[in-house]
């Protein structure tokens, strides 16, 4: 039985906790949050021990996996600390706001012969897996264009308002757009050209980017709107022989030959605890990471070079941005 420790028991930790409950080879034995009520609540949810200080948890417990659900700016330092103690680490996205951390974290994992992975959940999200297969198989002919969007309201709920602090969260490019960008780099590699526009600040932040490749392009949008805007993640990809659209949690394939096919709803989708359509993406990524740890294998689904490319591109988006107000 693998023993798991978790740190950062805020919003996203609920999806991770629900997933760990479904992994028979692992048991969450300890959880940590500097807000005692969050740690206590998660501890009773998981039948685990609560800690309010990470160093105390590291000193007081022996565990095989650390699952990091902390604010973004803390991911790399906490990961390295645990890796250096021989603990396998899964961290929420992004790995860091700084590219140099990719090398630092992976070197710590290698030095200590343990596994490290960033939880870029779209790589395991059913509709994005379907899309990848449609591109790779070529069953609808050549890809012509794509559109990906991730829009929501300005996050005012995060601990200490860290999300709206550019130094700690990186705002919309790191909070939202990085999901789609990571998937794009995973699937297509580096684009030939990037055209981006941005308007915003920590109250409202909107980014619009076109990634150009040989023969097709992908237009993306991501935003925090300062109003009661319901979160949406969607895409629409145009192939020679079909259009695949994912909208309101439903994926449809519109065929040139006629007819529309709808991907059946997932019978056993998790309650993911955040405002996203139900999917087993969180379970799938945690299952994959657990299998890598059990097999003593690197997490090859996610390569450090891809993470570096994503951080390089976000630098370009930030440099090329137009900030209003
Ligand atoms: N994959 C996804 O779909 C997804 C969705 C939401 C958030 N995220 C990522 O998850 C991370 C966390 O986001 P969130 O929305 O859960 O944030 P949050 O503010 O709700 O939770 C963060 C928690 O960390 C705790 N914390 C802060 N400093 C700490 C410390 N030093 N030691 C222990 N606990 C500490 C806070 O008290 C808080 O409970 C972010 O990096 C975000 O990018 C991913």
Out of 7-21, 110-124, 130-144, 189-203, least confident range: 189-203
Query: Would you say residue 71 lies in a domain?
Result: yes
Of 86, 119, 152, the one marking the end of a domain is: 119
Query: How much is the pLDDT for 301?
Result: 96
Asked if residue 129 and residue 100 are part of one domain, the reply reads no
For the entire predicted model, the pTM comes to 0.95
Ligand 1 atom at minimal distance to the Cα of residue 163: 19
Query: Would you say residue 211 lies in a domain?
Result: yes
- Residue from 24, 13, 26, 5 nearest 85 by CA: 5
Query: Would you say residue 324 lies in a domain?
Result: no
CATH number at residue 22: 3.40.50.720
Average pLDDT over residues 138-145: 98
Q: State in Å: Cα 211 to ligand 1 middle.
A: 29
Residue 122 reports pLDDT greater than 60:
yes
Residue 323 reports pLDDT greater than 70:
no
Which of 70, 81, 181 most suits a substitution to test ligand 1, by most atoms within 8 Å of the C-beta? 70
Query: How much is the pLDDT for 202?
Result: 83
> Dihedrals φ, ψ of 25, to 5°?
-85, 5
First to last CA, the chain: 54
Ligand 1 proximal residues by C-beta, below 6 Å: 7-12, 32-35, 38, 54, 69-72, 74, 92-93, 119, 121, 158-159, 175, 274
Instruction: Please give the angle made by the CA atoms of 145, 146 and 152, to the nearest 5 degrees.
Output: 155
Residue 322 reports pLDDT greater than 50:
no
Domain boundaries, position 77: 2-119
Q: State in Å: Cα 69 to ligand 1 middle.
A: 5
What confidence tens digit (pLDDT) does each residue in 219-246 have?
A: 999 999 999 999 999 999 999 999 999 9
Average pLDDT over residues 14-29: 96
Ligand 1 atom at minimal distance to the Cα of residue 120: 1
Which of 38, 71, 281 most suits a substitution to test ligand 1, by most atoms within 8 Å of the C-beta? 71
Asked if residue 138 and residue 112 are part of one domain, the reply reads no
Averaged pLDDT score across all residues of the chain: 93
Instruction: Please give the angle made by the CA atoms of 182, 150 and 239, to the nearest 5 degrees.
Output: 70
- Residue from 307, 119, 143 nearest 235 by CA: 143
Residue 156 reports pLDDT greater than 50:
yes
Asked if residue 178 and residue 46 are part of one domain, the reply reads no
Asked if residue 312 and residue 232 are part of one domain, the reply reads yes
Q: State in Å: Cα 296 to ligand 1 middle.
A: 28
Q: Which residue has the tokens 């945690």?
A: 286
Q: How many structural domains compose the chain?
A: 2
What confidence tens digit (pLDDT) does each residue in 178-211 have?
A: 999 999 999 999 999 999 998 878 889 999 999 9
Of 76, 103, 119, the one marking the end of a domain is: 119
Of 97, 119, 141, the one marking the end of a domain is: 119
Asked if residue 54 and residue 150 are part of one domain, the reply reads no
Q: State in Å: Cα 166 to ligand 1 middle.
A: 15
Asked if residue 212 and residue 266 are part of one domain, the reply reads yes
Asked if residue 101 and residue 151 are part of one domain, the reply reads no
């Amino acid at each position: 039985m693998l023993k798991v420790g978790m740190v950062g028991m805020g919003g996203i930790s609920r999806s991770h906790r629900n997933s760990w409950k479904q992994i028979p080879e692992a048991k969450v034995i300890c959880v940590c949050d500097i807000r005692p009520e969050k740690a206590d609540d998660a501890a009773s949810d998981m039948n685990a021990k609560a800690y309010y200080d990470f160093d105390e948890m590291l000193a007081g417990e022996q565990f095989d996996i650390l699952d990091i659900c902390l604010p973004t700016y803390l991911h790399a330092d906490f990961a390295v600390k645990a890796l250096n103690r021989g603990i396998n680490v899964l961290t929420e996205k992004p790995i860091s706001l700084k590219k140099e951390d990719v090398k630092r974290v992976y070197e710590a994992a290698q030095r200590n012969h343990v596994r490290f992975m960033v939880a870029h959940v779209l790589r395991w999200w059913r509709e994005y897996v379907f899309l990848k297969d449609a591109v790779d198989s070529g069953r609808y002919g050549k890809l012509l264009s794509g559109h990906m969007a991730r829009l929501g309201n300005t996050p005012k709920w995060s601990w200490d308002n860290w999300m709206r602090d550019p130094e700690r969260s990186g705002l919309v490019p790191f909070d939202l757009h990085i999901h789609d960008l990571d998937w794009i780099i995973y699937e297509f590699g580096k684009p030939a050209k990037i055209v981006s526009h941005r308007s915003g600040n920590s109250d409202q932040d909107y980014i619009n980017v076109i990634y150009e490749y040989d023969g097709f392009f992908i237009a993306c949008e991501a935003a925090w709107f300062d109003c009661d805007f319901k979160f949406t993640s969607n895409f629409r990809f145009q192939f020679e022989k079909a259009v695949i659209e994912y909208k309101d949690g439903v994926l449809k394939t519109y065929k040139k030959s006629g007819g529309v096919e709808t991907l059946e709803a997932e019978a056993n989708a998790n309650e993911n605890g955040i405002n996203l359509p139900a999917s087993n993406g969180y379970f799938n990524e945690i299952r994959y990471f657990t299998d890598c740890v059990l097999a003593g294998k690197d997490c090859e689904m996610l390569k450090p070079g891809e993470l570096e490319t994503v951080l390089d591109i976000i630098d370009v988006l930030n440099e090329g941005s137009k900030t209003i107000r």
